[in-house]
Amino acid sequence: MNVKKELKQLGLYPSKRLGQNFLFDENLARKIVDSLESDKQVIEIGPGLGVLSKYILKRFPDAIFIEKDPLLFNYLKLHYPNGKFILQDALKFDFNRFDSYSVISNLPYSISKNMLRKFISAYPHMDEAILMLQKEVVERLTSPPCNKKYGVMTILTRIFYIEEKLFNVSKNVFYPKPDIDSSVVRLKKRDSIPLNHDEVDDFIRFIKTIFSSRRKKISTNLGISDKKNNKLSLRAEELSLEKLIELYRELKSSSE
C-alpha cells in the first residue's frame, strides 16, 4: 500500500500532535495479527487505512473496527465492505458491552496512556490485547523491579494482565516517520487478580503514594517510621508486585 498516495487522495494530512503514523509494512502487519492468540470477539482500535484490518478480517470475519476520523471511516467502508466499522472515539466507546473480547491496535501515541487506563478498568472483559506502542511505554509495562522504568503504570497493569514484549518495530515502517521506535506487546488477562476486589482501589492509592517521590524511602512517602516494617526502608521501585501487596496488607493489618 502506498500510504502517502492514499492519504493525499483523501486530503488527509497526518497530525504529529495526535501521533498519527500509518504503518505500511505488509509483512509486519501480518506478523502483528498472527500474534493474537484469543478466539474472542476482536476489536481493532484506530484502523486508519486498514493495513492491519485486512489481515484481521481474514482470521476474524466478525471483527469490529473503531475509527474516529470520518474520512478514514468512509475510506474503510469503501475498501472493506464486509467489515463492521464504528465511527467513534475509542476512549468513549463502551467496550464492556461485550462479555469477552480481544483488542488489536497500532495505538496513536497521543492516546496510548489513556487507553491503557481504559484496559485496566475493563478487567475481566478484555481477554487479550496486542498493542503497538512507543518502545519506552512497552519498556515501562514490562520492566522488572530495581529499574528506573518500573513504576505505577507497571504495577497497575500487572495487577490485571500478564505482559509480554513480542518484538521491536523500526520507525522506518511508518508514514510519516516518527521520531521514536515502537514495540509490540501482548497483555493477557490474569485468570484471577492477586488482590481481593475490596482491596483494589485502596491498593492503587497506596501505590500512587509510595511512588510519588521515587528516590525517597517508602516510609518517607507514607509519612511513617520505617521501624514498623523492614520493607519501609526501601524505595518502592525495589519491590515486586507480590512484595508490594505483602507490604500493603501488613501495614493495613497493623493499623487495625
The more confidently predicted of residues 108 and 30 is 30
| Mean pLDDT in residue range 219-231 | 94
Quick one: DSSP state of residue 178?
P
194-213 tens-digit pLDDT: 999 999 999 999 999 999 99
pLDDT at 18 over 80: no
Annotated binding site: 21, 23, 46, 67, 89, 106
Q: Which residues make beta-bridge pairs with 64?
A: 43, 84
Query: Rounded to whole angstroms, how far apart are CA atoms 151 and 171?
Result: 26
What number of CA atoms fall less than 13 Å from residue 208's CA on the CB side?
A: 6
- The sign of the CA dihedral 50, 54, 55, 60 is positive
pLDDT at 19 over 80: no
The more confidently predicted of residues 177 and 1 is 177
pLDDT at 228 over 90: no
Which residue in the block uniquely carries the three cell numbers 523491579?
Answer: 145
The more confidently predicted of residues 19 and 49 is 49
Contact by Cβ (8 Å): 207, 156:
yes
pLDDT at 171 over 80: yes
Q: Which of 194, 201, 202, 209 is nearest to 242 (CA)?
A: 194
pLDDT on residue 82: 95
Query: Other C-beta atoms within 10 Å of 256: how many?
Result: 4
Q: Which of 250, 227, 231 is nearest to 239 (CA)?
A: 231
Query: Rounded to whole angstroms, how far apart are CA atoms 43 and 47?
Result: 10
pLDDT at 30 over 90: yes
Residue ranges of E strands in the chain: 22-23, 41-45, 64-67, 84-87, 101-106, 126-134, 161-169, 174-175, 182-189
Query: Rounded to whole angstroms, how far apart are CA atoms 206 and 201?
Result: 9
Annotated binding site for S-adenosyl-L-methionine: 21, 23, 46, 67, 89, 106
Which residue in the block uniquely carries the three cell numbers 515502517?
Answer: 173
Q: Give the domains, in start order, of the chain with CATH numbers.
A: 3-189 (3.40.50.150), 197-255 (1.10.8)
What's the longest Cα–Cα distance across the chain?
67
Q: Which residues make beta-bridge pairs with 126?
A: 101
pLDDT band at 108 (very low <50, low <70, confident <90, very high): confident
pLDDT on residue 256: 65
Residue positions counted in the chain? 256
**How high is the mean pLDDT of the chain?**
95
118-153 tens-digit pLDDT: 999 999 999 999 999 999 999 999 999 999 999 999
pLDDT at 169 over 70: yes
Query: In sequence order, which residues have a C-beta less than 8 Å from that of residue 61 and are 6 or more positions away?
Result: 82
Opening angle at CA 91, ends 47 and 104, nearest 5: 40
Query: Rounded to whole angstroms, how far apart are CA atoms 3 and 25?
Result: 10
